């Protein structure tokens, strides 16, 4: 330990020396955050573990990446909405159904907001949810296997952005539409948008035992843009808050036309009221097509079901269910503090933050003090619900997180900074620059009753000169600030993959002990599993051939197969017989029009291959698994279509 520290000091000394010489641009050093003390704060010695997991959305990568804090080391990319050749996700026969939608197979999406499941408003570390914006979907990922287990398409939605946030006991994962659309979809002139389009807010229930999702109801709101959302907690549990913009209902040149109103709204939704209404038979079933894809851990296989209807709610028919809180300047994020009292509107075209009071909101509703209505939904008076304003001096507030010690941290995109301020007194305590143009920020547990306020991670949109250049395309950049003291201290930069929008962090001790190590062979229920060499065989059904194959260090059984013909459709069903932690094997077949398979111990995966050329063709293991990994290979003999080469298979003959 001592030795490492010494080396680190030596390296740092050099870095300081170099930067003090100034760079080629003659620009002043931006390394003021760098001191040996800060270096120690992010240094995780070889073999040591990080204190937190950070799950960062991949944005346009469609996936979720896992990092350690404070080291900023990337541990895993979890494929969610995008095909991922590294593991075969979305290419293997078992996982193709995960990417099925009512539009057919959609192997990509734009993933924005991960949120970890909660019990009593605290992170419980069972699952993490994330939204797909483009072809509206919500995914559930297991935090024991770190695999995507379920994807629910969201009908009547478009640009599924105010998603995927969970209620205090994970009763629901909530999804709101960014783009309003005709509901049901129909052929109509675009310029008749106003008054005719609708915005849907979807409540997807989560089974407390197995996490399975079910789309319970959709609230059909006026045709605004529903940008972000967050749950009430503590006393405001039972409510959900959504920001809106484009309350002008413009359908063109929104940068001008959707910035006309001085105030848009935060929609406050009392979902418990709606739940009650639904339980009493309220709501209207509407035809809707949407896919529900579930991955089963025992069979290692996903199935996709196309659902046909959805329960819709007209909010004007449920008294007391929805109110509008006027909020200045096209708010982007809406965040709720750990106590559940303060609802923070981040008006992205403003310098100030608007904080609404939950208690005042309830009092104003009880006193029926309304300032008119919008499409039958009561509008509360701005001054009646206002708790305070943060005069930040920054520009372009986007998102706020909390440290659990009475402080809030807000990102300002335009002025590129994080501003720390005090809940209740609204005074600004500290501000630190970000490099550059920060979007979201994350404190582990920062969207729960119990934040772990040691670090805040800022996720920046623009990288420019932070790293060695990599051509025109640069990875995004995240920055870690130590917030354990009175002021924020920038301690580290690290590159992130795709475009992280939001992230969710959790103490490592809540996840690491229950992380799954292997799949038990004895529990493998895959219909084509070959859990031992005795189960291996090759079965022909017309021109379909099923190969039940097993693998163990360092061979495949069988490794010689003859009798395959051009025009066949060959399924390799490959089972990894290993029962040791971290001994995957890979499988790759020459000319296959998909990817390799990376198969975990005890798991079965299937690859389809349609041989097009006569010959003898090799397959091999792609993961360096033993000293004899290079020997882990086999051959398939492919005969002409119509030939009578007999089907045979063998090992060691
Ligand atoms: Cu990037 Cu939450 Cu999609 Cu703000 S959103 S930055
Ligand atoms: Cu198995 Cu390399």
Nearest alpha carbon, ligand 1 atom 6: 439
Q: Is the Cβ–Cβ distance between 38 and 489 less than 8 Å? A: yes
Split at pLDDT 50, 70, 90, the class of 289 is very high
Ligand with minimal distance to 458 CA? 1
> H or E segment at 274?
helix 271-279
Strand partners of residue 77: 65
Ligand with minimal distance to 115 CA? 1
Q: Which of 136, 242, 396, 398 to mutate to test the pocket of ligand 1 (most atoms within 8 A of CB)?
A: 398
Number of neighbours of residue 299 by Cβ within 10 angstroms: 16
Ligand with minimal distance to 634 CA? 2
Q: Report CA-CA distances (Å) from 147 to 24, 76, 489, 607.
A: 45, 11, 35, 19
CA of 543 to the centre of ligand 2 (A): 29
Residues lining ligand 2, Cβ inside 6 A: 585, 621, 623-625, 629, 632
Residue that is written with structure tokens 């050099």 in the block: 14
CA of 632 to the centre of ligand 2 (A): 6
Residues lining ligand 1, Cβ inside 6 A: 112-113, 161, 228, 332, 398-399, 439-440, 501-502
Residue 255, Cβ density class (10 Å: 0-12 exposed, 13-18 middle, ≥19 buried): exposed
Question: 144-164: buried (b, 16+ CB within 10 Å) or exposed (e) per residue?
Answer: eebbbbbbbbbbbbbbbbbbb
Distance of alpha carbon 645 from alpha carbon 62, whole angstroms: 45
Nearest alpha carbon, ligand 1 atom 5: 501
Instruction: Tell me the average pLDDT across 578-604.
Output: 98
Nearest alpha carbon, ligand 2 atom 1: 585
CA of 439 to the centre of ligand 1 (A): 6
Q: What ligand 1 atom has the least distance to the C-alpha of 113?
A: 2
Q: Angle 137-334-204 (CA atoms, 0-180°, nearest 5)?
A: 30
Best CA proximity match to 423, nearest among 332, 528, 353? 353
Ligand with minimal distance to 554 CA? 2
Q: Report CA-CA distances (Å) from 614 to 408, 564, 609, 617, 619.
A: 67, 9, 14, 9, 15
Q: What ligand 1 atom has the least distance to the C-alpha of 398?
A: 4
Q: Is 0.85 surpassed by the pTM of this model?
A: yes
459-482: pLDDT as tens digits: 999 999 999 999 999 999 999 999
What are φ and ψ of residue 425, in 5° steps?
A: -100, -20
User: CB under 8 Å to 71, separation ≥6 — which residues?
Assistant: 42, 43, 44, 50
Q: What ligand 1 atom has the least distance to the C-alpha of 332?
A: 4
Question: pLDDT > 70: what percent of the chain?
Answer: 94
Q: What ligand 2 atom has the least distance to the C-alpha of 626?
A: 2
Ligand with minimal distance to 550 CA? 2
Split at pLDDT 50, 70, 90, the class of 9 is very low
The mean predicted confidence, pLDDT, of the chain is: 94
Ligand with minimal distance to 633 CA? 2
CA of 499 to the centre of ligand 1 (A): 10
274-286: pLDDT as tens digits: 999 999 999 999 9
Residue 35 is predicted with a pLDDT of: 60
DSSP readout, 95-139? TGGGGEETTEE-----B---EEEEETTEEEEEEEEEEETTTTEEE
Q: Is the pLDDT of residue 11 over 70?
A: no
Instruction: Tell me the average pLDDT across 576-594.
Output: 98
Q: What ligand 1 atom has the least distance to the C-alpha of 499?
A: 1
CA of 111 to the centre of ligand 1 (A): 10
CA of 604 to the centre of ligand 1 (A): 37
Residue 567 is predicted with a pLDDT of: 97
Instruction: Tell me the average pLDDT across 592-615.
Output: 98
Q: Is the pLDDT of residue 201 over 50?
A: yes
526-550: pLDDT as tens digits: 999 999 899 999 999 999 999 999 9
Split at pLDDT 50, 70, 90, the class of 392 is confident
CA of 253 to the centre of ligand 2 (A): 56
Q: What ligand 1 atom has the least distance to the C-alpha of 228?
A: 2
Q: Is the Cβ–Cβ distance between 271 and 297 less than 8 Å? A: no
Q: Which of 57, 130, 502, 503 to mutate to test the pocket of ligand 1 (most atoms within 8 A of CB)?
A: 502
Q: Is the pLDDT of residue 24 over 80?
A: no
Residue 34 is predicted with a pLDDT of: 52
Q: Is the pLDDT of residue 407 over 80?
A: yes
> Which tops the pLDDT comparison, 531 or 609?
609
349-382: pLDDT as tens digits: 989 999 999 999 999 999 999 999 999 999 999 9
Q: Is the pLDDT of residue 114 over 50?
A: yes
Ligand with minimal distance to 559 CA? 2
Q: Is the pLDDT of residue 33 over 60?
A: no
Q: What ligand 2 atom has the least distance to the C-alpha of 584?
A: 1
Q: Is the pLDDT of residue 168 over 90?
A: yes
Best CA proximity match to 201, nearest among 318, 109, 59, 367? 318
Residue 313 is predicted with a pLDDT of: 98
Residue 78 is predicted with a pLDDT of: 98
Nearest alpha carbon, ligand 1 atom 3: 112
Q: Is the pLDDT of residue 41 over 80?
A: yes
CA of 631 to the centre of ligand 2 (A): 8
211-236: pLDDT as tens digits: 999 999 999 999 999 999 999 999 99
Q: What ligand 2 atom has the least distance to the C-alpha of 623?
A: 2
Q: Report CA-CA distances (Å) from 369 to 239, 315, 362, 375, 388.
A: 19, 19, 11, 17, 19
Nearest alpha carbon, ligand 1 atom 1: 501
CA of 423 to the centre of ligand 1 (A): 23
CA of 508 to the centre of ligand 1 (A): 25
Instruction: Tell me the average pLDDT across 3-22.
Output: 39
Residue 621 is predicted with a pLDDT of: 98
Residue 37 is predicted with a pLDDT of: 87
Strand partners of residue 546: 539, 571
Question: pLDDT > 90: what percent of the chain?
Answer: 93
């Amino acid at each position: 330990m001592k030795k490492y520290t010494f080396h680190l000091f030596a390296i740092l000394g050099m870095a300081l020396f170099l930067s003090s010489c100034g760079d080629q641009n003659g620009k002043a050093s931006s390394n003021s955050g760098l001191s040996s003390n800060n270096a120690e704060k992010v240094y995780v010695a070889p073999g040591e573990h990080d204190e937190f997991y950070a799950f960062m959305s991949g944005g346009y990568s469609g996936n979720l990446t896992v990092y350690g804090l404070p080291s900023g080391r990337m541990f895993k990319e979890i494929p969610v909405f995008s095909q991922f050749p590294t593991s075969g996700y979305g290419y293997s026969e078992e996982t193709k159904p995960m990417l099925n939608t009512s539009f057919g197979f959609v192997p990509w999406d734009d993933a924005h907001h991960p949120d970890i499941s909660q019990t009593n408003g605290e992170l419980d570390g069972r699952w993490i949810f994330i939204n797909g914006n483009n072809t509206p979907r919500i995914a559930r990922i297991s935090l024991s296997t770190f695999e995507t287990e379920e994807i629910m398409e969201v009908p009547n939605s478009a640009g599924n952005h105010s998603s995927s946030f969970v209620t205090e006991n994970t009763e629901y994962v909530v999804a709101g539409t960014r783009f309003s659309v005709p509901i049901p979809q129909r052929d109509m002139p675009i310029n008749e948008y106003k008054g005719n389009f609708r915005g849907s807010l979807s409540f997807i229930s989560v089974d407390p035992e197995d996490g399975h999702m079910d789309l319970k109801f959709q609230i059909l709101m006026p045709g605004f843009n529903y940008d972000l959302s967050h749950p009430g907690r503590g006393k405001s549990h039972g409510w959900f808050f959504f920001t809106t913009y484009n309350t002008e209902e413009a359908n063109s040149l929104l940068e001008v036309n959707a910035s006309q109103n001085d105030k848009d709204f935060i929609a406050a939704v009392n979902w418990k009221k709606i739940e009650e209404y639904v339980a009493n038979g309220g709501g209207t079933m509407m035809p809707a097509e949407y896919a529900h894809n579930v991955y089963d851990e025992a069979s290692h296989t996903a199935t996709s079901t196309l659902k046909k209807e959805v329960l819709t709610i007209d909010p004007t028919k449920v008294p007391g269910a929805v109110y509008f809180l006027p909020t200045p300047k096209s708010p982007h994020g809406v965040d709720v503090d750990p106590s559940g009292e303060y609802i923070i509107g981040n008006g992205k075209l403003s310098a100030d933050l608007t904080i609404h009071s939950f208690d005042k909101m309830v009092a104003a509703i009880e006193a029926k003090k309304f300032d008119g209505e919008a499409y039958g939904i009561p509008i509360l008076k701005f001054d009646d619900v206002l708790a305070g304003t943060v005069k930040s001096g920054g520009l372009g507030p986007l998102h706020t997180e909390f440290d659990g010690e009475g402080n809030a941290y807000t990102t300002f995109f335009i002025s590129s900074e994080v501003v720390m301020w005090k809940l209740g007194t609204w005074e600004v305590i500290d501000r630190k620059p970000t490099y550059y143009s920060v979007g979201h920020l994350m404190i582990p547990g920062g969207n729960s009753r119990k934040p772990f306020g040691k670090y805040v991670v800022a996720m920046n949109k623009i990288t420019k000169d932070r790293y060695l250049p990599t051509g025109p395309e640069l990875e995004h950049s995240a920055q870690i600030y130590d917030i354990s003291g009175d002021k924020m201290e920038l301690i580290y930069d690290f590159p992130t993959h795709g475009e992280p929008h939001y992230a969710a962090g959790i103490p490592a001790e809540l996840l690491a002990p229950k992380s799954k190590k292997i799949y038990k062979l004895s529990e493998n229920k895959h219909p084509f599993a070959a859990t031992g060499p005795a189960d291996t065989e090759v079965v022909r059904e017309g021109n379909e051939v099923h190969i039940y194959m097993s693998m163990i260090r360092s061979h495949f059984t069988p490794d010689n197969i003859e009798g395959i013909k051009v025009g066949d459709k060959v399924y390799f069903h490959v089972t990894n017989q290993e029962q040791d932690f971290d001994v995957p094997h890979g499988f790759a077949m020459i000319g296959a029009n998909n990817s390799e398979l990376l198969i975990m111990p005890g798991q079965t995966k299937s690859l389809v291959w349609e041989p097009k050329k006569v010959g003898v063709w090799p397959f091999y293991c792609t993961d360096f698994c033993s000293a004899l990994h290079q020997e882990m290979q086999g051959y398939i003999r492919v005969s002409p279509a119509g030939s009578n080469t007999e089907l045979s298979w063998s090992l060691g003959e």
